[in-house]
Amino acid sequence: MNPTPGRGSTPAPGRNHLRLVGHLVSLKELSGCSYARLASNSRTTGGTDGTGSVSATTLKRVVNLTKGVPVERAVTAYVRACGVGGEEEALRLWQAARAESRGRLAGLRAPHVDGIRTRADLAAALATAYERAGAPALRVLQARAADAGIAGHVLLPLSTLWRTAGRRGLPATWKQCAAFLRGCGVPAQHMGRWEEAWERAAAGRTAVRGRSLSRPARGALVRRGRTPSPVINWTPELEQSLMTLAKALAICAEDVKPKTDNMARMAMMLGKTVGSLQLERSGIVAVNALSALVRSLEATARLNGIGPSSLDNGQLPPVQGRRALAPGAG
């Protein structure tokens, strides 16, 4: 009779854990090796995936049901040391045992890939793929996410992995999403269905390969044809604040623009006076940067329809508190 779970007690092994241990024990019996011999074999059977050699004590823990589900690396080393095959089945059983012991799959309630419609559906489905893969260490998954010629850490940052695996966010692009799925062991022939799910999850079905799923909120000020910024909670108060800011920027552009030409002439004269070409160049660079800022301010004003060019009489609309912008205003 199993003890009641509590402090100092060990939970009863799950069905998949029992099947995993049974499979490993049968492989050892088929090999006819002792644990000492298996440990010796592991020194020569370690692969390039970082499996390496393991001790006889570690191998015994792999098949000890009271120690919980072993780590993937130890299971792989055990199977390879036996030398009788069965690695694919052992990995499948290990993934099922890990998912069972973590107990998170039922709570995710993820739809089938063909049933994904929303961002929430996609987030649940990706987290489910991670759990079904045995919730491997993030760096292990990152290494498996590598594509032809592109390393996993380049394709998939650890921060993105952490958010996606924990259902805290989504990959920024389809390329990152595909890398995550590849790291979770999703076969290449299924990637097409996942990409279709990715596109469905994009609001308005506007997402295309390699683009962000984020879309602008209704009324957001975004130039057509550019990748939108992350979604924000758009409220009337926020819109009013941004419009006030845009009016202030338009005033700034109007006030600063006439001074840029004078600044350029001053920079040239100062450079010639002190005989420093480098000083003249530095001044011109600074003025060019200021001119670019002014152009950006003007573009922002025009985009929001509040600049001088958008008005019939060429005058800016009144801005509440404009005097407060002037130096020394009370």
pLDDT tens for each residue of 210-257? 445 644 444 444 444 444 444 445 456 666 666 677 677 667 666 666
* Lowest-confidence region among 41-45, 139-143, 210-214: 210-214
d(CA 294, CA 258): 10
Are residue 255 and residue 281 in the same domain, yes or no?
yes
- Whether the predicted pLDDT of 4 surpasses 50: no
Residue 6: CB partners within 8 Å, gap ≥ 6?
none
DSSP code per residue over 273-293: HHT-HHHHHHHHHHHHHHHHH
Are residue 285 and residue 306 in the same domain, yes or no?
yes
Give the residues across from 150 on adjacent strands.
Answer: 147
Are residue 116 and residue 201 in the same domain, yes or no?
yes
Q: Please state the domain count of the chain.
A: 3
pLDDT tens for each residue of 56-71? 999 999 999 998 999 9
The answer to whether 30 and 24 are in contact (CB under 8 A) is: no
User: 91 is in which domain, residue-wise?
Assistant: 15-102
Structural domain includes residue 166: yes
